[in-house]
Amino acid sequence: MKYKIVFSDIDGTLLNKERQLSPSTISEIKKLKNKIPFILISARMPAAMRHLQKELAIEELPIISYNGGLILVNDQVVSTTEIPVSIIKNLTDWNASLNCHLSLYHNDEWYVPSMDFWAKREENNTKISPVVKIGDEVITKWSAENKGAHKIMAMGEEDQIDQIVDFLSKEHSNELHLYRSKNTYLEISPKSISKLTAIKFLLNHHFNLDLSDVIAYGDNYNDVEMLNHVGFGVAVGNAREEAKLVANHITALSIEDGVAQSLKQLIPLESW
């Protein structure tokens, strides 16, 4: 069948070893222009995705950020799901003695308690600079603005992350999804959202397409549900085994332009 839309994860899926888009990947995606929408779907904040959109010449297309917690169409918010400030305060108060790094995100706002090792590494990875502001100040600000967090990122030693997982699992298991991308990284998001819920939202409200029309690319635990339910799920060669098990196809490694190679096979544009 002819697939009508593509959704792709970014980190570990679309980027090369320099954490950039390769010329081959850019070329293949640009061939889809005005034929098949290519939508970026990531745990990243929007500001860390827009430069990639620009390189791919897909700036007019929607963005799904924060694993589905925030969806932008024409740079306007069409769907937002946030962690309430009450939960943020409970976590920051408990973390006062543990002192694990907690990054707080809302749309393009990114607050860090200090420019420590973790903040600098994430700044290097995403090419975005955070604002230094302690958790209580962010909570006060967001309370006044009626905002919550689209994502909380805990970064620290493995035992610190273990303790945060235990705490949040006991305190907020019904409200939060905990996604451990690495032993030292914990992404905290609202439990009600996922990449799949975001895809369904855009298909229903913006594109008028079905899940069967979708090709999706991913590599990690937060991609498993998406890969399992779309029309054709593709895991890159470096993907977690859980992602590979549910995928319809396994392509080359991300650093070998696996997405570009797959697009050549799945979407023969000569037929258009």
Q: For the chain, how big is the Rg over CA atoms in Å? A: 18
235 within 8 A of 251, measured Cβ to Cβ: yes
What gap in Å lies between CA 209 and CA 96, rounded to an integer?
Answer: 47
Can you say whether the dihedral through the CA atoms of 257, 74, 272, 41 is positive or negative?
A: positive
- Put residue 7 in one of left, alpha, beta given phi > 0 → left and psi -120 to 50 → alpha: beta
From the candidates 9, 213, 219, 223, give the one annotated as an active-site residue.
Answer: 9
99 within 8 A of 66, measured Cβ to Cβ: no
Sheet strand arrangement including 76-80: 76-80, 70-73, 63-65, 38-41, 5-8, 214-218, 232-235, 249-250
Reply yes or no on whether 257 is catalytic: no
Six token digits for residue 53: 């959109």
Work out the angle at residue 188's Cα, subtended by the Cα atoms of residues 44 and 175, and round it to the nearest 5 degrees: 130
What gap in Å lies between CA 134 and CA 121, rounded to an integer?
Answer: 19
- Beta-carbon count within 10 A of 4 CB: 18
How would you classify the pairing of strands 76-80 and 101-106? unpaired
Residue in the block written with tokens 């939960």: 87
What gap in Å lies between CA 256 and CA 15, rounded to an integer?
Answer: 9
Catalytic residues: 9
